[in-house]
A and B are shown apart, each in its own frame.
Chain A
Amino acid sequence: MKILIIDDEEDVRRIAHLSLAHVGKHEVLEATTGAAGIEKARTERPDAILLDVMMPAMDGPTTFAALQADPATRTIPVVFVTARAMAAEIEPLRALGVRGVLIKPFDAMTLPEELARVLE
């Protein structure tokens, strides 16, 4: 699978990248902002997008809305990654129509498994 990670935190991006590439054997792409992520999604057509919720400038929900608005990216499944772990915070995110929500800090050894489960 080709997976695009959109996250402003370099370290988090890197860990997720290593996990998905080495544990999950996926092809991994990275983007550091929502805007860059959208561009990459358009050109690279990944099979799934891991999207951070809290980002400066363009946050996760805004980025997701833009991806949904574009016919080229509308069908790519998106999974939010958030540090806000409460049900009250997660439910509104789910309601936006994403495929799933993963919580930070995640277990890097089981992240690919989790992602596969969410995407199923």
Chain B
Amino acid sequence: MSPVGPVGPICERFSGGPAFAVVMISAPVPRDEQRRLAALAAYDLRDRVAEAELDDVTRLAAAICRVPIALVSIVECDRQWFKSRFGLTLEETPRDVAFCAHAILGDDTMVVEDARRDERFHDNPLVTGEPFIRFYAGVPLVVASGERIGTLCVIDREPRSLDSAQLDALRTLARHVVKHLEVRRLTSERSAAEDRFRMLSDAAPVGIYLADGDGSRLYTNSAWQQMSGLTFEESLGHGWLQAIHPGDRDRVLTEWASAVAEQRDVDAEFRFVTREGNERYIVSRAKRIDEPHDGREKWVGSITDITERRRTEEMLDRFFRLSVDMLCVSGVDGYFKRVNPAFTEVLGFSEQELLARPYIELVHPDDREKLLVELQQLAKGRPTHRFESRCVRRDGSIRWIAWSASAVTESGLIFGAARDVTSAKIAAQALAESEDRYRDLFENATDLIQAVTPDWKFLYVNQAWLRTLGYTVEELSGMTMMDVVHPDSRDHCREVVQRLMNGELVPKLEAVFVTSSGEKRLVEGNVSCRFVRGRAVSTRGIFRDVTESRAAERDLLRSHETLRASESAMRSIISSSLSGIVTFSRKGLISSVSPAAETILGYPEADLLGRDISQLLPEPPADFDAFLHAAVHTSLGRVTEWDLRRGDGSIVSVELALFEFETADGKHLACNLHDISQRREVEKLKREFVATVSHELRTPLTSIRGSLDLLKGGVCGPMTPQGEEVATIALRNTMRLITLINEILDLDRLDSGKLEMYLADAEMESIVRTAADSVRAFAEQSGIRLITDVVAGLIHVDAERIVQVLVNLLSNAIKFSPPGAPIRLTAQCERGEAVFRISDRGRGIPRPYLQRIFDRFQQVDSSDSRSRGGSGLGLAICKGIVEQHHGTIDVVSEEGTGSTFTVRLPLRGGDPLNALEPSDVLIVEDDPALLAVLRKQLERDGVAVRSATSGREALALMRATLPRLLVLDIGLPDIDGFDLIAILRGDSAMRTLPLLVCTARYLGAADRACLTLGPTRFLTKTTADDRELRRLVAELITP
């Protein structure tokens, strides 16, 4: 085996040939050997086939260099073989002994003048044995891709050298060899491509041809020949034109020429006439080939036989034009693409007119919505069947059209067929109406129907007549109508009948009939007269017994009067009220404006009557109904603040109480307005004042404090003890003033919402430590023991502010504790909250003060402010800060034993609302506006919810995924809340579900008992605020 490593995985090791005892140095394998071998393979050198041109080259090389041997050597994976050899019989050698394997490593000629003196070759078997090489010169064959595939080399059995002319000639010859090989490669590639093209083209079902720029055919495939009926030879040159229909020939040639001139694709449609005389419709398309090999432009084209398609189209077109029904094709853009003559006939528009306008404009405005719905269905792929709508003709008359249509979703086309059904529609309507009348007459058994001759004899009466008036048919045969009519009504009846017989129309007859038992019945009805040949033959009447309903009406009238009286009382109350009152309907239309309200709103009543209340808003709401609904929901029975727009465009702030009242025509809403603009203005002024003054105060205080500091610190010289005492007092009071100003500023910011919170995660432990450290000195001074006890926990707060709260509470505790008493500060986690407790054993807070202790300027003893310091603002600030953190603060205290202040803050990650999944809370509420309000309130707290608008939907959702909390409105459209709860109670999985019942009305204990599942809470919609909802939800989902 060779000492050289394997040259690549893709080649077989050379194993034939003479076995040399090899110790010489073999050529290393080039780095890019894989690429080199791939390039070599592309040249398809066909081993051992002699090529005269190459043999000429080797002969010439030997002659020029005056050597006996010249070779074209190809270096393969394992061997070199000689593509051409002159003066040598050996056909190949292993690669590891090949001189050429060395020569291909460099770009230039490798010359070995005496192999025996060359350490690479002195023991090479080709040197020591046949063919006894002494001299070697090899030029690498560098192909187009840069690879060196072999060499042109000359060999002598004697040492020698080459002069530069010889070397030059050798290089030239090597380039010639490469060029020869390149030409061979290109030729073989092209002929392979052409073979493939012909094979494909003959197998193709479409006709294919190759043409010159002047249209003469160079090639046609068999499908082409089949369509045209020409043979291959006949089709060549301009022979193909014989197959074209004479009527199309000139056009085809002209089109060809102009397309070629403009360098674009040639598209043509024409007919072939076959030998048998059949016409075939053909479409043809030709494209220019970009790289012609022989310098002539060429065009490759294909033809398709569309005869069948064309015939089908023609047939369809004929039907389209002939159809009595209206046929159309329209697009998604809302315009017709095609309409048939029947269309133009029925609608009276020309085809152009129909195509030029959106077809919806043809439809009667009242039917357009219906049509749009139908079109949506169509777009979803549901065909329209016998859809009826009215269309407006060009002359403005209306036709009923019945449509059937289907849409092809891919193309976006709608195919429609329609028929004018106006006359059928009218007939059907007329029939339906007359049937209705008939039914009214005879099936409505409560009406009294009668026919009477002009001399008042009965022709017939119906069952209701007999039943109501108590007569039998037999009795009537001996009576006249006048026997039934009460004497007081007789003249009136006679007069009406007389007028009818004279041909007048009488709208309504009212009369008193007498029953068989003598009772009076008040009837009301219509009477008509039937004429035969101009003579009245009978009068027909339909009456209704209105005795009872009239009585009821009278009662109603009376109660209306009462209502009207109370209404007018209310009106006078409203008009004299000092606060403004505006009343409006449930739809928001203003029905009255009191004089005081006129002043507040800056409109006379007349300008507002009948307008909706959005007139009064600074910005009209996008959806008025939703706005009204939500506004009523949030404001009914409560006092809320609003900004309203006055008649002159200015804005007025009002306090508003909304209430409901009832009059004869139903429920109304009224709001009581209070102009609070001035109050707002004052509040704003106050805040600005406080801010300015507080800042202004700080500047002189800086000087005062600084002076006292320096005095007391001895910077201005030594002080007497009295002097120092006085300076200390001045300094202490200065500090009090500074604290007071700071607190006023804090409160002001809390009020105006400007107190910015820098929220971050903080360790409870570090907050407690910081707070304790800052009061420790004060505690020690007062002899107080400060005990802290804290568990680890993370809260998301403004740590500086929470420390401020704790320091404030601790300072208070220290101030009010006797010396030596302990104060305990603990921090724990309870039910998802961080709980801080500050307990002292001080004097406690008297019960009456407990309620107000968190209000401003509240001090249990007014002397405290002097003796203990403090502004009375500290606790109000604490409360404000804690509430801004969504927490609570409260106090438990007993006089004489001490107080405990408790601050609760949501734990970071421990807030139960944060841990909720969207499927955990299910809201069941049929009113979309209220649902939106509830959803919004919860979503603001980061709680995503599911919702259902009916009991059935709720059950389905709950059975799919069990929620952790059900929020239920008890008034639902299908199953009401009580029933829903009953169903849930029967289900073991849902029986213990936490439940929050939202109700608009007060529920008694019995109702509440029926509305309980697991833990249950009740929320009255009109009075609840956001915080309560949040609190209840959090409570219910906490295990």
Partners in one complex: yes
Give the residue of B702, B713, B758 whose beta carbon is less than 8 angstroms from that of A105: B702
B754 A88 Cβ-Cβ under 8 A: yes
The docked-state distance in angstroms from the alpha carbon of A107 to that of B698 is 13
Contacts A9-B699, A83-B699, A87-B800 given; indicate if A107 touches B715 (C-beta within 8 A). Answer: no
Contacts A85-B742, A88-B756 given; indicate if A15 touches B695 (C-beta within 8 A). Answer: no
A109 B709 Cβ-Cβ under 8 A: yes
B706 A12 Cβ-Cβ under 8 A: yes
Q: Does B827 contact A (CB under 8 A)?
A: no
Question: What 1/0 flags go to A82-120 for Cβ under 8 Å of B?
Answer: 011111100000000000000011111100000000000
Residues of B within 8 A of A85 (CB): 698, 742, 745
Give the residue of B704, B706, B734, B755 whose beta carbon is less than 8 angstroms from that of A106: B706
Q: Does B631 contact A (CB under 8 A)?
A: no
Residues of B within 8 A of A12 (CB): 699, 702-703, 706
Report the minimal beta-carbon distance from B976 to chain A, rounded to whole angstroms. Answer: 52
Contacts A87-B758, A88-B756, A105-B701 given; indicate if A22 touches B715 (C-beta within 8 A). Answer: yes
**B701-720 interface with A by 8 A CB criterion:** 701-707, 709-710, 712-713, 715-716
Give the residue of B699, B706, B713 whose beta carbon is less than 8 angstroms from that of A16: B706
Give the residue of A86, A87, A108 whose beta carbon is less than 8 angstroms from that of B706: A108
B698 A105 Cβ-Cβ under 8 A: yes
The docked-state distance in angstroms from the alpha carbon of A38 to that of B705 is 28
The docked-state distance in angstroms from the alpha carbon of A16 to that of B707 is 10
B715 A19 Cβ-Cβ under 8 A: yes
A83 B695 Cβ-Cβ under 8 A: yes
**B398-451 interface with A by 8 A CB criterion:** none
B800 A105 Cβ-Cβ under 8 A: no
Q: Does B738 contact A (CB under 8 A)?
A: yes
Question: What 1/0 flags go to A43-55 for Cβ under 8 Å of B?
Answer: 0000000000010
Minimal Cβ-Cβ distance residue in B for A88: B756
B706 A15 Cβ-Cβ under 8 A: yes
Q: Does B749 contact A (CB under 8 A)?
A: yes
Residues of A within 8 A of B754 (CB): 88
The docked-state distance in angstroms from the alpha carbon of A88 to that of B757 is 8
Report the minimal beta-carbon distance from B912 to chain A, rounded to whole angstroms. Answer: 30
Residues of B within 8 A of A105 (CB): 698, 701-702, 704-706, 734, 738
**B728-758 interface with A by 8 A CB criterion:** 734, 738, 742, 745, 749, 754-756, 758
Q: Does A23 contact B (CB under 8 A)?
A: yes
Residues of B within 8 A of A83 (CB): 695, 698-699, 702
Residues of B within 8 A of A86 (CB): 745, 749, 755-756
**A1-56 interface with B by 8 A CB criterion:** 9, 11-12, 14-16, 18-19, 22-23, 54
Residues of A within 8 A of B (CB-CB), count? 23
Residues of B within 8 A of A14 (CB): 703
Question: What 1/0 flags go to B658-698 for Cβ under 8 Å of A?
Answer: 00000000000000000000000000000000000001001
Residues of B within 8 A of A9 (CB): 699, 702-703
A104 B699 Cβ-Cβ under 8 A: yes
Contacts A23-B715, A86-B745, A87-B800 given; indicate if A108 touches B709 (C-beta within 8 A). Answer: yes
The docked-state distance in angstroms from the alpha carbon of A82 to that of B974 is 67
Contacts A15-B702, A104-B699, A105-B702 given; indicate if A87 touches B756 (C-beta within 8 A). Answer: yes
Chain B's interface size range is: 20 to 34
Residues of A within 8 A of B702 (CB): 9, 11-12, 15, 83, 104-106
The docked-state distance in angstroms from the alpha carbon of A19 to that of B712 is 12
Minimal Cβ-Cβ distance residue in A for B737: A105
Give the residue of B700, B706, B755 whose beta carbon is less than 8 angstroms from that of A19: B706
B705 A19 Cβ-Cβ under 8 A: no
Residues of A within 8 A of B734 (CB): 105
Give the residue of A11, A19, A54, A87 whose beta carbon is less than 8 angstroms from that of B710: A19
The docked-state distance in angstroms from the alpha carbon of A10 to that of B742 is 24
Minimal Cβ-Cβ distance residue in B for A16: B706
Report the minimal beta-carbon distance from A53 to chain B, rounded to whole angstroms. Answer: 11
Residues of A within 8 A of B738 (CB): 105
Question: What 1/0 flags go to A67-84 for Cβ under 8 Å of B?
Answer: 000000000000000011
Question: What 1/0 flags go to B738-781 for Cβ under 8 Å of A?
Answer: 10001001000100001110100000000000000000000000
Give the residue of B700, B713, B745, B800 whose beta carbon is less than 8 angstroms from that of A109: B713
A15 B698 Cβ-Cβ under 8 A: no
**B936-984 interface with A by 8 A CB criterion:** none
Report the minimal beta-carbon distance from B699 to chain A, rounded to whole angstroms. Answer: 6
B710 A18 Cβ-Cβ under 8 A: yes
Residues of A within 8 A of B756 (CB): 86-88
Minimal Cβ-Cβ distance residue in B for A107: B709
Minimal Cβ-Cβ distance residue in B for A83: B698
The docked-state distance in angstroms from the alpha carbon of A109 to that of B756 is 31
Minimal Cβ-Cβ distance residue in A for B703: A11
The docked-state distance in angstroms from the alpha carbon of A16 to that of B710 is 10
The docked-state distance in angstroms from the alpha carbon of A87 to that of B742 is 12
Contacts A15-B703, A18-B715, A86-B749 given; indicate if A104 touches B698 (C-beta within 8 A). Answer: yes
Residues of A within 8 A of B755 (CB): 86, 88
Minimal Cβ-Cβ distance residue in A for B798: A87
Residues of A within 8 A of B715 (CB): 18-19, 22-23, 108-109
Minimal Cβ-Cβ distance residue in A for B695: A83
Report the minimal beta-carbon distance from A120 to chain B, rounded to whole angstroms. Answer: 22
Report the minimal beta-carbon distance from A59 to chain B, rounded to whole angstroms. Answer: 14
B710 A108 Cβ-Cβ under 8 A: yes
Residues of A within 8 A of B713 (CB): 23, 108-109
Residues of A within 8 A of B745 (CB): 85-86
The docked-state distance in angstroms from the alpha carbon of A85 to that of B699 is 12
The docked-state distance in angstroms from the alpha carbon of A12 to that of B705 is 10
A15 B699 Cβ-Cβ under 8 A: no
B695 A107 Cβ-Cβ under 8 A: no
The docked-state distance in angstroms from the alpha carbon of A54 to that of B696 is 11
The docked-state distance in angstroms from the alpha carbon of A40 to that of B541 is 116
Residues of A within 8 A of B758 (CB): 87
Minimal Cβ-Cβ distance residue in B for A84: B695
Residues of B within 8 A of A87 (CB): 756, 758, 800
Centre residue among B698, B699, B742 by max chain A CB count within 10 A = B699
The docked-state distance in angstroms from the alpha carbon of A5 to that of B394 is 91
Residues of A within 8 A of B709 (CB): 19, 107-109
Report the minimal beta-carbon distance from A38 to chain B, rounded to whole angstroms. Answer: 23
Report the minimal beta-carbon distance from B715 to chain A, rounded to whole angstroms. Answer: 5
Report the minimal beta-carbon distance from A25 to chain B, rounded to whole angstroms. Answer: 11
The docked-state distance in angstroms from the alpha carbon of A19 to that of B703 is 12
Report the minimal beta-carbon distance from A104 to chain B, rounded to whole angstroms. Answer: 4
Report the minimal beta-carbon distance from B758 to chain A, rounded to whole angstroms. Answer: 6
Residues of A within 8 A of B800 (CB): 87
Report the minimal beta-carbon distance from B730 to chain A, rounded to whole angstroms. Answer: 13
Residues of B within 8 A of A18 (CB): 706, 710, 715-716
Report the minimal beta-carbon distance from B770 to chain A, rounded to whole angstroms. Answer: 16
Residues of A within 8 A of B699 (CB): 9, 12, 83, 104
Minimal Cβ-Cβ distance residue in A for B697: A83
Centre residue among B705, B710, B716, B738 by max chain A CB count within 10 A = B710
The docked-state distance in angstroms from the alpha carbon of A14 to that of B710 is 11
The docked-state distance in angstroms from the alpha carbon of A62 to that of B526 is 95
Residues of B within 8 A of A108 (CB): 705-707, 709-710, 713, 715
Minimal Cβ-Cβ distance residue in A for B712: A109
Report the minimal beta-carbon distance from A10 to chain B, rounded to whole angstroms. Answer: 9
Closest 9 CB pairs of A and B: A15-B706, A108-B709, A11-B703, A108-B706, A83-B698, A105-B702, A88-B756, A105-B705, A104-B702
Inter-chain pairs besides A86-B755, A104-B702, 17 sampled, C-beta below 8 Å: A12-B702, A15-B706, A16-B706, A18-B716, A22-B715, A23-B713, A84-B695, A86-B745, A86-B749, A88-B754, A104-B699, A104-B701, A105-B706, A106-B702, A108-B707, A109-B710, A109-B712
12 residue pairs from A and B, CB less than 8 Å apart? A12-B706, A15-B706, A18-B710, A19-B715, A23-B713, A85-B745, A86-B749, A104-B698, A105-B698, A105-B734, A107-B705, A108-B707
| A positions within 8 Å CB-CB of B | 9, 11-12, 14-16, 18-19, 22-23, 54, 83-88, 104-109
